[in-house]
């Protein structure tokens, strides 16, 4: 067992835990399994986390921070509100290589974790993502690029609902889900719904309409 600085060891344990939870679920995973997968002794787990529950909560919180960071990176250099929104629509963390494992864990936990602290962590995770999307929608509305028919608050929840559904079916490997034989994608429906003519114009110019 190699010695790592405390911060690196903690990060390694969280990375390993995400993979183990993805296979066995939260309820089906033990700290002994986590320690074996990480190549450490079980007391090392408790040196960094009080319990499996605390480890899982920190994993949920870190995943939220990573998702925000992923979105911020995707939006770097984009100043046009509508363009930022279109990029955000196409940046579902549930289907990114790193995010897919973490969101499989989170979706599983939604169905099996009954501890109030975990439910609070999951709620906080979704609220954090919602707030980010809502701010982007507000900017697009303020710029007159998105209809004011629905509030940014409600539209942000609708985007999260659709992203969860798409990401879950992608994880299941459902053939053809999210696209049709004409090459259209579910993202096109969302973009056209929110940005109307602006979305149609931009996609025509890029040859993707």
Neighbours of 149 (CB within 10 A): 8
Determine the pLDDT at residue 13. 95
Determine the pLDDT at residue 203. 57
154 in a domain, yes or no?
Answer: yes
- Is the pLDDT at 206 greater than 60? The verdict is no
Determine the pLDDT at residue 201. 54
Q: Which residues pair with 179 in a beta bridge?
A: 185
167 in a domain, yes or no?
Answer: yes
Give the model confidence (pLDDT) of 13-58 as tens digits. 999 999 999 888 888 999 999 999 999 999 999 999 999 999 999 9
170 in a domain, yes or no?
Answer: yes
Determine the pLDDT at residue 128. 96
19 in a domain, yes or no?
Answer: no
48 in a domain, yes or no?
Answer: no
55 in a domain, yes or no?
Answer: no
Mean of the pLDDT values across residues 88-117?
83
- Residue 138 is part of which domain span? 60-206
Domain count across the chain = 1
181 in a domain, yes or no?
Answer: yes
Determine the pLDDT at residue 16. 94
Determine the pLDDT at residue 200. 52
Mean of the pLDDT values across residues 99-103?
82
For residues 130 and 122, what is the distance between their CA atoms, to the nearest angstrom?
12
Burial per residue of 6-29, b for 16 or more beta-carbon CB atoms within 10 angstroms, e otherwise: eeebbeebbebbbbbbbeebbeeb
User: What tokens appear for 134 in the block?
Assistant: 């809502």
Determine the pLDDT at residue 169. 86
Let me know: does 109 contact 24? Beta carbons within 8 Å: no
Q: Which residues contact 4 (CB under 8 A, 6 or more apart)?
A: 12
User: What tokens appear for 102 in the block?
Assistant: 């973490």
194 in a domain, yes or no?
Answer: yes
Give the model confidence (pLDDT) of 166-189 as tens digits. 888 887 888 888 888 888 888 888
- Is the pLDDT at 199 greater than 60? The verdict is no
Residue 184 is part of a domain; what is its CATH number?
A: 1.10.357.10
Q: Which residues contact 10 (CB under 8 A, 6 or more apart)?
A: 48
Instruction: Place 209 in a pLDDT band, splitting at 50, 70 and 90.
Output: very low
Instruction: Place 98 in a pLDDT band, splitting at 50, 70 and 90.
Output: confident
Give the model confidence (pLDDT) of 51-97 as tens digits. 999 999 999 999 999 999 999 999 999 999 888 998 998 888 888 87
Determine the pLDDT at residue 157. 95
Determine the pLDDT at residue 123. 93
């Amino acid at each position: 067992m190699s010695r790592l600085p405390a911060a690196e060891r903690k990060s390694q344990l969280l990375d390993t835990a995400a993979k183990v939870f993805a296979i066995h679920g939260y309820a089906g995973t033990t700290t002994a399994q986590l320690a074996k997968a990480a190549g450490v002794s079980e007391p090392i787990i408790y040196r960094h986390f009080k319990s499996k529950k605390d480890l899982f909560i920190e994993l949920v919180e870190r995943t939220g921070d990573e998702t925000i960071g992923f979105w911020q990176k995707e939006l770097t250099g984009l100043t046009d509100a509508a363009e930022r929104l279109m990029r955000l629509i196409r940046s579902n963390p549930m289907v990114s290589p790193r995010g897919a494992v973490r969101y499989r864990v989170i979706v599983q936990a939604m169905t099996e974790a009954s501890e109030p602290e975990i439910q609070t962590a999951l709620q906080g995770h979704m609220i954090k993502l919602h707030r980010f999307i809502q701010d982007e929608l507000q900017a697009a509305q303020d710029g007159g690029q998105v209809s004011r028919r629905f509030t940014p608050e409600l539209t942000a929840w609708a985007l999260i609902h659709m992203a969860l559904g798409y990401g879950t079916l992608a994880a299941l490997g459902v053939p053809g889900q999210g696209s049709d034989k004409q090459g259209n994608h579910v993202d096109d429906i969302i973009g056209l719904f929110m940005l109307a003519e602006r979305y149609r114009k931009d996609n025509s110019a890029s040859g993707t309409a």
